[in-house]
Amino acid sequence: MNRTVRRAMLASAVLLTLGLSSTAFAGGRPDAVISGLNAGRAHEANQLIIKFRDGASTVQRNAVRAGLRAVSQDTLRRGKRGGDTTLMRLPSGVNLQALVRRLSTNPAIEYAEPNWIYTHSASSNDPYYTNGSLWGMYGDATSPANQFGSQAGEAWAAGHTACNGVLVGVIDEGIYFNHPDLAANIWTNPYDPVDGVDNDGNGYVDDVRGWDFDGNSNNINSGGAGDDHGTHVAGTIGAVGGNGVGVAGVCWSGVKMISGRFLGRRGGTTANAIKAVDYFTDLKTRHGLNIVATNNSWGGGGFSQALQDAIGRANNAGILFVAAAGNSGANNDTTASYPSNYPNANIIAVAALASNGSLASYSQYGATTVDICAPGSAVNSTVPVSSKGSVVPGYASYSGTSMATPHVTGGVALYASSHPGASAADIKAAIMGTAVPTTSCNGKVVSNGRLNVSSF
Ligand SMILES: [Ca+2]
Ligand SMILES: [Ca+2]
Ligand SMILES: [Ca+2]
d(CA 103, CA 283): 64
Looking at residue 38, what is its pLDDT? 59
CATH number for the domain that contains residue 104 = 3.30.70
Catalytic residue among 43, 179, 229, 407: 229
Q: Are residues 112 and 133 in the same domain?
A: no
Looking at residue 146, what is its pLDDT? 87
Q: Ligand nearest 211 Cα, by number? A: 1
Q: Is the pLDDT of residue 118 over 50?
A: yes
Q: Which of 95, 116, 137 is the last residue of a domain?
A: 116
d(CA 214, CA 279): 13
Q: Are residues 189 and 90 in the same domain?
A: no
Q: Is position 122 within any domain? A: no
Q: Is position 407 within any domain? A: yes
Q: Is position 55 within any domain? A: yes
Looking at residue 19, what is its pLDDT? 27
Say which residues have a Cβ less than 8 Å from residue 270's Cβ, sequence separation at least 6: 301, 304, 306, 307
User: Which of the four pLDDT bands, split at 50, 70 and 90, describes residue 22?
Assistant: very low
Looking at residue 227, what is its pLDDT? 92
Q: Is position 300 within any domain? A: yes
What is the CA(367)–ligand 2 centre distance, in A?
A: 46
Closest CA to 47 of 67, 64, 68, 30: 68
Compute the average pLDDT of residues 53-79. Answer: 87
d(CA 65, CA 60): 9
Predicted TM-score (pTM) of this structure: 0.75
Q: Are residues 36 and 150 in the same domain?
A: no
| 3-state secondary structure (DSSP) of residue 313 | helix
Closest CA to 427 of 409, 410, 445, 415: 415
Compute the average pLDDT of residues 269-294. Answer: 97
Q: Are residues 64 and 165 in the same domain?
A: no
Q: Are residues 316 and 442 in the same domain?
A: yes
Looking at residue 406, what is its pLDDT? 98
Q: What is the residue range of 423's domain?
A: 127-450
Q: Are residues 161 and 289 in the same domain?
A: yes
Choose the weakest-confidence range: 2-16, 220-234, 267-281, 322-336.
2-16
Looking at residue 71, what is its pLDDT? 76
Q: Are residues 189 and 256 in the same domain?
A: yes
CATH number for the domain that contains residue 255 = 3.40.50.200
Q: Are residues 203 and 251 in the same domain?
A: yes
Q: Are residues 32 and 165 in the same domain?
A: no
What is the CA(167)–ligand 1 centre distance, in A?
A: 17
Q: Is position 22 within any domain? A: yes
Q: Ligand nearest 249 Cα, by number? A: 3
Q: Are residues 95 and 166 in the same domain?
A: no
Looking at residue 5, what is its pLDDT? 38
Q: Is position 444 within any domain? A: yes
What is the CA(249)–ligand 2 centre distance, in A?
A: 30
Q: pLDDT tens for residues 234-246?
A: 999 999 999 999 9
Q: Are residues 54 and 159 in the same domain?
A: no
43 is catalytic: no
Closest CA to 32 of 115, 118, 121, 100: 100
Q: pLDDT tens for residues 197-216?
A: 999 999 999 999 999 999 99
Choose the weakest-confidence range: 10-19, 202-211, 445-454.
10-19
Highest mean pLDDT among 145-149, 195-199, 300-304: 195-199
Q: Is position 456 within any domain? A: no
Q: Which of 116, 138, 168 is the last residue of a domain?
A: 116
Q: Is position 121 within any domain? A: no
What is the CA(428)–ligand 1 centre distance, in A?
A: 30
Compute the average pLDDT of residues 19-29. Answer: 32
407 is catalytic: no
Residue 17: exposed, middle, or buried by beta-carbon count in 10 A (0-12, 13-18, 19+)?
exposed
Catalytic residue among 363, 402, 440, 454: 402
Domain count, the chain: 2
Looking at residue 143, what is its pLDDT? 82
Compute the average pLDDT of residues 285-308. Answer: 95
Q: Are residues 63 and 134 in the same domain?
A: no
What is the CA(315)–ligand 2 centre distance, in A?
A: 28
| 3-state secondary structure (DSSP) of residue 410 | helix
Q: Is the pLDDT of residue 117 over 70?
A: no
371 is catalytic: no
339 prior amide bond cis, ω within 30: yes
Q: Is the pLDDT of residue 41 over 70?
A: no
Q: Ligand nearest 161 Cα, by number? A: 3
Q: Is the pLDDT of residue 422 over 90?
A: yes
